[in-house]
Amino acid sequence: MKKAWWKEAVVYQIYPRSFMDSNGDGVGDINGITSRLEYLQELGIDVIWLSPVYQSPNADNGYDISDYQAIMEEFGTIEDFDRMLTRAHELGIKIMMDLVVNHTSDEHAWFVESRKSKDNPYRDYYIWKEGKENGNPPNNWGACFGGSAWKYDEQTRMYYLHLFAEKQPDLNWDNPKVREDVFHMMNWWCDKGIDGFRMDVISMISKVPGLPDGDMQGGLYGNGSPYYMNGPRVHEYLREMNEKVLSRHDLITVGEAAGVTVPEAKLYAGEDTRELNMVFQFEHVGEGAGKPGKYGKWDQEKMPLSEWKAILSKWQTELEGKAWNSLYLSNHDQPRCLSKYGNDKEEYRIISAKMLGTCIHMMQGTPYVYQGEELGMTNAGFDQIEDYRDIESLNIYRELKSLHGVPEDVAMGYLKKVSRDNARTPMQWNNSKNAGFTTGDPWIKVNPNYTEINGEAQRRDPDSVFSYYKELIRLRHEMAIIVYGTYQLLEPADEKLFLFTRELDGQKLLVICNFTEEDVVTPGSALELMGEDSEILISNYVHRMDEVLRPYEAVVYIVGNTEY
């Protein structure tokens, strides 16, 4: 396995709108981030992944960009950005930008031009098609945020493609001018000194020519994903990007790759394929796994632990030596991981947050911590539609009720559990009003549990989730085995415990995580490895008890007689 700094790094994701507000308008901003960089230095992370801060009309909170080289007014100025970058670098923290180039905003100058006329020089920057003879859209694809993936435009009487919201028209990557402009913009940011890119839905940039109809789903729209996920030219485009941008700077790169399979990942993130460093795969967070619900992710059942372990283990072992993994349980699109995979009840909150952290941080790959995860923040679970802000949640709520006749309380139940807004409530800094996030009215409600769960209290407390994450990150920085060691799953069929080992140069670690609120007998395979001379590297309970694992217990052993 080749060594690289980005393999040894820990990344922290900031969702700027919800991180820290510096001027009391209720919206997080760049100066707010700058004011909290010391907090991140204390946590010990190496890289910030900054969700979009570019100019945007905010149809999708910045994932709809109207100018790639300007900063959103609400977030500050380019001077504020430069100051943040300089300060971060002084503190030894790198900054990875979000790159959203599958689509732009419909307010981007390219699209404003493109929609003007069929012979506008920017026409082919986007994907325009005539409707069908009966006036229907060019094909039956549904958009990710509901409705058809096509929007009729009066001006030229043609449809444009939008895989997400109407205000997010898809760029036409088959047009070499689009690629040239995107690469130029990326180099501009690199020359500014940024340290990498997280590439939004990069697996969707190449569409199958002809844009064929997809199989019908639920009677309304066809599933277009076989024709736009991991499309025919995606690897060609990424290699071109690598040659013209990425290889010219020292960067960390990760592609968000919904629908990615192991063989595809070996291309996107292969050791020698000259594309990206790593991808975010989605199988373990539910996509394409578990029992698919009637309404996709909204009513999907939780998958059995054995299945979840099989997915994560497959990615661990099959990429070994060939490509590099990213490790994550949460981000701004997922409900809070503590609520989804752990237990957010008072009694088990802290212990299960530490268990989940142990599980993911002891695997091979680059770990990503989503803001507030290091505090054990939980789903807000708002029960009034007025409290939701996310376009996806608002659209689906409407559709579920009006199109599918789902009762109000059931639809609300889905949102409470699954909505992306669960992850987007303000960062909980302290126990003062609005959790110290803003002195004004926050753009989205603060989770009322900030009086219990907040950064200030946890920084002082050696037994907090924050202190535990600090320790996990410190250990990774000190021990090559945590970064590079090979992975092996034990007890694959066990539905309560997640057990695995890591091995490097004669050293061996044993990782044990109890995913239940029950006492569980330690299996023989683990007891054997624990033996007499094993030492505990880290654990979430104070006292050792070999034979029984307590609720949500996590412990990592340095297996006896192996070197440390």
Q: Assess 256 for contact with Ca ion (CB under 5 A).
A: no
Q: Looking only at residues 128 through 167 of this chain, which bind ligand TEU when binding is defined by CB under 6 A?
A: 144, 164
- Residue 35 or residue 223: which is nearer to Ca ion going by CB? 35
- Alpha helices by DSSP H, listed for 342-493, are 349-361, 391-402, 408-418, 455-460, 465-478, 480-484
In the complex, minimum distance from the CB of residue 37 to Ca ion, in angstroms, rounded to a whole number: 17
Annotated active-site residue 461? The verdict is no
Rounded Cα gap, residues 52 and 71, in angstroms: 9
Backbone angles phi, psi at 278, to 5 degrees: -165, 165
Please count the residues of this chain forming the interface with ligand TEU, following the rule CB under 6 A.
13
Smaller CB distance to Ca ion: residue 29 or 390?
Answer: 29
Nearer to ligand TEU, 380 or 490 (CB): 380
**Residues 106, 171: Cα–Cα separation, whole Å:** 11
Binding mask 283-322 toward ligand TEU (x if CB under 6 A, else -) reads --------------x-------------------------
- Nearest distance, CB of residue 438 and Ca ion, angstroms: 7
Q: Of 170, 325, 182, whose CA–CA distance to 240 is shortest?
A: 182
414, 484 Cβ separation under 8 angstroms: no
Q: Please state the closest distance from residue 335 (CB atom) to ligand TEU, in A.
A: 11
CA–CA separation, 371 and 376 (whole Å)? 10
Footprint of ligand TEU on 182-241 (CB under 6 A): 200-201
CB-CB contact of 413 with 299 (8 Å): no
Residue showing the smallest CB distance to ligand TEU in the complex: 63
For position 491 contacting Ca ion by CB under 5 A, the verdict is no
Q: How far is the CB of 52 from ligand TEU (least distance, A)?
A: 9
Does residue 513 bind ligand TEU (CB under 6 A)? Answer: no
Kindly tell me which residue out of 1, 4, 23, 404 binds Ca ion, with binding defined by CB under 5 A: 23
Nearest-CA neighbor of 489 among 305, 289, 296, 287?
305
Q: Is residue 80 a contact point for ligand TEU (CB under 6 A)?
A: no
- Name the DSSP class of 194: -
Supply the minimum distance, in Å, between the C-beta of residue 14 and Ca ion: 14
Q: Per CB under 6 A, does 333 bind ligand TEU?
A: yes
Are 529 and 508 in contact, with CB atoms under 8 Å apart? yes
Q: How far apart are CA 373 and CA 464, in angstroms?
A: 12
Q: Of 1, 4, 25, 220, which one interacts with Ca ion (CB under 5 A)?
A: 25
The crossing angle, in degrees rounded to 10, of helices 176-192 and 234-244 is 40
Rounded to a whole number of angstroms, the minimum distance from the CB of residue 549 to ligand TEU is: 33
Query: What are the tokens at 25?
Result: 């308008």
Q: Is 124 near Ca ion (CB under 5 A)? A: no
Q: Hey, which residues does 520 pair with through a beta bridge? A: 549
Partner from ligand TEU, Ca ion, none binding residue 54, C-beta < 5-8 Å depending on class: none
What's the CA gap between 471 and 93, in Å, rounded? Answer: 18
State which of residues 20, 40, 85, 100 lies at the interface with ligand TEU (CB under 6 A): 100
CA-wise closest residue to 212 among 201, 228, 188: 228
Pick 12 or 429: Cβ nearer ligand TEU: 12
439 binds Ca ion (CB under 5 A): no
Q: Which does 258 bind (CB under 5 to 8 A by kind): ligand TEU, Ca ion, none?
A: ligand TEU
Q: Report which of 338, 415, 346, 347 is spatially closest to residue 369, judged by C-alpha positions.
A: 338
Active site includes 73? no
CA atoms of 425 and 393, how far apart (whole Å): 14
392 binds, among Ca ion, ligand TEU, none (CB under 5 to 8 A by kind): ligand TEU
- 60 is a site residue for ligand TEU (CB under 6 A): yes
Helix segments in 74-175, DSSP class H: 78-90, 109-114
Contacting ligand TEU (CB under 6 A), which of 63, 324, 368, 443?
A: 63
Number of residues in contact with Ca ion under rule CB under 5 A: 5
At residue 347, what are phi and psi to the nearest 5 degrees? -60, -35
- Strand-pair category, 128-129 with 158-161: antiparallel
The entry of Ca ion, ligand TEU, none that residue 25 binds, CB within 5 to 8 Å by partner kind: Ca ion
Which of 21, 275, 283, 392 forms a contact with ligand TEU (CB under 6 A)? 392
Compute and round to an integer the Cα radius of gyration of the chain: 23
Active site residues: 200, 256
Residue ranges binding ligand TEU (CB under 6 A):
60, 63, 100, 144, 164, 200-201, 256, 258, 297, 332-333, 392
Residue ranges binding Ca ion (CB under 5 A):
21, 23, 25, 27, 29
